[in-house]
Amino acid sequence: MADVLLEVRNLRIAGPGRLIVDGVDIVVEAGRVTALCGPSGAGKSVTARACMGLVDVAPGLVGGSLRYPGRSDKDWFKGHLDAGPRAMTRLARETTEMRGGYLSYSPQAASSALNPGRTIGRQMEIAVGRREKPPTKDVADVIVELLHEVGLAPHVVSALPGQLSGGMCQRAALAIAMASDPQVLLADEPETGLDPVLRRQVVELLLSVGKAHGCGILLISHHEDTVTRIADSVVRLSGPKGAA
């Protein structure tokens, strides 16, 4: 049985006047893909962010637990339930140590999500600095190797995001996410804005790179063909909830 790296139980998140997420369970295991899927407005991104300790809706968490068993058995939600926006701010601050090293995030629409004023190499260098264990080789070599893994040439190190195509930006975002050597990779709609051929290429790349590094993957997607093809387990969100 694979090691459990992330475990969310009975997640409940309230927004203004309604439940956004109600009773969701998520388990991410080493070397396996858990897909989080559902229609627009179902709460996929809110759920994924909660898995990282980020709840930026009010009043926020009203139920559930969050554990990273690869690190400890601590319930990060304990003491923050039904406690309002200030508790959500405190939770985000307390879980900072988990983001970047243990958890990494590959954003939706990478072309606009990447920092437009920093080169890809600099963004990767910052991510390498978040590793739980420092690399055993020169950082420049680590960066070039990661670029090669995602199918990008070494000269991309000096490129700004605006100088890259959409597909190249998505590959660069994956390289940046993996530069911190995470145990859990959260990939938020990696196919957004890409044509069908590029969508498949990016997802297959995500799968191969993630598994090569032995991390667990939480894939947020609304593409049923992708979910059916690569997911080891699936969590389905049904849509907006009623009054809280």
Using one digit for the tens of pLDDT, what is the confidence trace for 141-162?
Answer: 999 999 999 999 999 999 999 9
Using one digit for the tens of pLDDT, what is the confidence trace for 162-211?
Answer: 999 988 988 899 999 999 999 999 998 887 777 777 778 888 888 889 88
The H or E element that residue 235 is part of is: strand 233-236
- What domain range is 170 assigned to? 4-236
- Whether residue 244 is contained in a domain is answered as no
Task: Sheet with 103-106: list strands edge to edge.
Answer: 103-106, 184-188, 216-221, 33-37, 233-236
- Whether residue 241 is contained in a domain is answered as no
- Whether residue 153 is contained in a domain is answered as yes
- Whether residue 123 is contained in a domain is answered as yes
DSSP secondary structure of 19-54: EEEEEEEEEEETT-EEEEE-STTSSHHHHHHHTTT-
Given a cut of 90, whether residue 42 has pLDDT beyond it is: no
What is the pTM assigned to this prediction? 0.90
CATH number, residue 40 = 3.40.50.300
**Average pLDDT along the chain:** 91
- Whether residue 242 is contained in a domain is answered as no
- Whether residue 147 is contained in a domain is answered as yes
**Joined tokens for residue 225:** 């063909």
**Joined tokens for residue 110:** 């990478």
Q: Quick one: which of 96, 182, 73 has its CA closest to 133?
A: 182
Give the chain's domain count: 1
